[in-house]
Amino acid sequence: MSYTDSLPKGVLGYLNVSGDSQTVVDAVTVTYKRFLNVSAAATQSGNVLTEILLSSSGEVAVLDCSRSANVVIEDGVLVTSSSDAGLVIDISDSAAVYVSTADAALSTNALTVDVSENASLQINAKSVSLGDVTVDVGGSASISVLTASFKSADIVLDVENGGAICIDADEVTTGDYTIEGGSKISMPKASNKLGSTGTFACDNSSVPVRELGFVTDSVSGSSMGTSGEAPLEESSSHTLAEFKLKVLIFVGLTLLVTL
């Protein structure tokens, strides 16, 4: 998912879906009524790539991913500290989310994260500056934050079972902090470890390249919420299909991904 300033006026974004067969292509459906819902028939198998391009930056306030989705969030997509809204990230099953803003700062008024089962979240940012932070990790889930500087107002980190949190920052600064499961939380480079006792290195996985991914016996979907309703226009393309979403007014988007 990415942001571009080259879309026509009045267009919220484009959704481009590519597949390795027409059958897989035809299995993808798009509906829009406040939320943009993208889904695929559960009986289809094949390779598919879904790309969402937004015309306005900093609009996604809620990210919900499940099943085996691999989701890459690029710079300019997530809500920032200039908005009153905070950022909510919820990842489950074996979904993997990559917030890839290595050359830019990640800044938001508040951050709430829940990662469970075998899911993972990796954040690559030049720096991270947050308001109040609440993070819950369960199952065998993991979070890696790769940045030079991590700052927050207050922070609550809770890790259960085989979960793990790793903040790979030279500087970690916060106000009040609460740590549960300290041995499963690692800040290997920081002098102020906030009471954590983990010593493991942070996972630094390569961000998936923009190419077709295999899906089978599952449903893929994306939803983005807006404050208005407008017709959805569809046009054919050689890749699969291109959908143009027109709205006049919108606030805080919600993106739901299941695969």
- Looking at residues 212-237, what average pLDDT do you find? 40
Task: Encode pLDDT of 110-152 as tens digits.
Answer: 999 999 999 999 999 999 999 999 999 999 999 999 999 999 9
Query: Where exactly are the structural domains of the chain?
Result: 2-258
- Calculate the average pLDDT of the chain: 80
Task: Encode pLDDT of 186-210 as tens digits.
Answer: 999 999 999 999 999 999 999 887 6
More confident residue, 86 or 9: 86
- Looking at residues 91-118, what average pLDDT do you find? 95
Q: Give me the phi and psi of 100, to 5 degrees please.
A: -105, 90
Q: What is the chain's percent helix, strand, coil content, to nearest 5?
A: 5, 55, 40
* Residues linked to residue 22 through DSSP beta bridges, in sequence order: none
Considering only CA atoms, which of 132, 128, 165, 163 is closest in space to residue 149?
128
> By the 8 A CB rule, do 234 and 36 touch?
no
> By the 8 A CB rule, do 259 and 218 touch?
yes
DSSP SS3 for 187? coil
The DSSP letter of residue 183 is G
- Looking at residues 164-191, what average pLDDT do you find? 98
pLDDT of residue 210: 65
> By the 8 A CB rule, do 116 and 137 touch?
yes
pLDDT of residue 136: 99
More confident residue, 201 or 249: 201
pLDDT of residue 42: 61
* pLDDT winner (highest mean) among 143-147, 240-244, 247-251: 143-147
In this structure, the strands spanning 45-54 and 2-3 are parallel
Range name among 42-56, 57-71, 87-101 with the lowest pLDDT average: 42-56
Alpha-helical (H) ranges within the chain are 22-27
pLDDT of residue 31: 67
